[in-house]
């Protein structure tokens, strides 16, 4: 595997560490919520910067002849970055407006999704699936966006059911429950995205 691949994995981890710190800090200020062992900024950054390239190295060592599994590991790392961008924007909008449910909550999810999608396209095209062609970018991005919009509909439906229909459970605050709904939707849409990108958008 090329050194640039590990370097980009390191950069991905660095960005994730920075974003994770700010997301966790927001939860700390808003809810007094602190996750064990990752409250320190330096430790969080160091962990992400080491774990991302390490995971890629282990995957390459174990599955170097199975390209799809290596792509899946890279897709997971990009997914972590997209998730933090998505969640960071969602929480920023909720923080600025004080709105944590209802129709505007779904609009916030859509805004965060759109920004994260652009980031996802760039990383997955050039890094995960290693497609360097740029001539058909507008058409390719259009198809990419359609596949991702379907995942958004999956996420929105699940988030709506969890947040607006079920409502907060287990004594969680509306803010934490809004993030629970967002997280469940993310998990359900993950495999749809990977299969769609691999076999429909970035197929060889």
Q: Could you give the CA distance from residue 58 to residue 151 in angstroms, rounded to a whole number?
A: 29
Predicted confidence (pLDDT) at residue 102 exceeds the cutoff of 50: yes
Return the pLDDT at 41: 62
- What pLDDT does 43 receive? 67
Whether the CB-CB separation of 90 and 129 falls below 8 Å is answered with no
Select the more confidently predicted residue: 36 or 138.
138
Phi and psi at 57, nearest 5°, equal -65, -45
pLDDT tens-digit readout, 1-16: 778 888 889 988 888 8
Residue 126 has pLDDT above 70, yes or no: yes
Q: What is the pLDDT of residue 30?
A: 64
Contact 94, 176 (CB under 8 A): no
Which sign, positive or negative, has the C-alpha torsion 196, 197, 198, 200? positive
pLDDT of the residue at 56: 86
Query: Domain map of the chain by residue range?
Result: 3-201
> What is the structure's pLDDT at 85?
92
Q: Which of 93, 91, 86 is nearest to 190 (CA)?
A: 86
Tell me the per-residue pLDDT of 164-199, one tens digit each, with 9 for 90 and over: 898 888 888 888 888 888 888 888 888 788 888 888
Rg (alpha carbons) of the chain, rounded to whole number: 18
- Give the model confidence (pLDDT) of 14-47 as tens digits: 888 888 877 777 776 666 655 544 456 666 677 7
Instruction: With beta carbons less than 8 A apart as the criterion, state whether 58 and 24 touch.
Output: no
| Percentage of residues of the chain with pLDDT beyond 90 | 3
pLDDT at 37: 47
Residues 125 and 140 sit within 8 Å (Cβ to Cβ): yes
């Amino acid at each position: 595997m090329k050194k640039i691949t590990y370097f980009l994995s390191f950069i991905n981890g660095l960005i994730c560490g920075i974003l994770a710190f700010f997301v966790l800090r927001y939860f700390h200020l808003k809810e007094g919520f602190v996750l064990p062992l990752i409250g320190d900024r330096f430790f969080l950054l160091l962990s992400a910067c080491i774990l991302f390239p390490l995971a890629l190295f282990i995957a390459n060592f174990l599955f170097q002849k199975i390209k799809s599994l290596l792509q899946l590991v890279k897709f997971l790392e990009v997914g972590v970055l997209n998730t933090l961008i998505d969640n960071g924007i969602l929480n920023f909008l909720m923080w600025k407006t004080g709105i944590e449910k209802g129709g505007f909550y779904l609009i916030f999810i859509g805004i965060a999704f759109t920004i994260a999608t652009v980031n996802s396209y760039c990383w997955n095209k050039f890094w995960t699936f290693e497609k360097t062609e740029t001539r058909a970018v507008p058409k390719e991005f259009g198809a990419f966006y359609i596949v991702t919009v379907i995942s958004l509909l999956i996420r929105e439906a699940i988030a709506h059911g969890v947040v607006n229909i079920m409502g907060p459970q287990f004594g969680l605050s509306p803010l934490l429950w809004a993030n629970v709904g967002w997280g469940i939707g993310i998990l359900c849409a993950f495999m749809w995205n990977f299969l769609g990108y691999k076999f429909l958008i970035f197929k060889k």
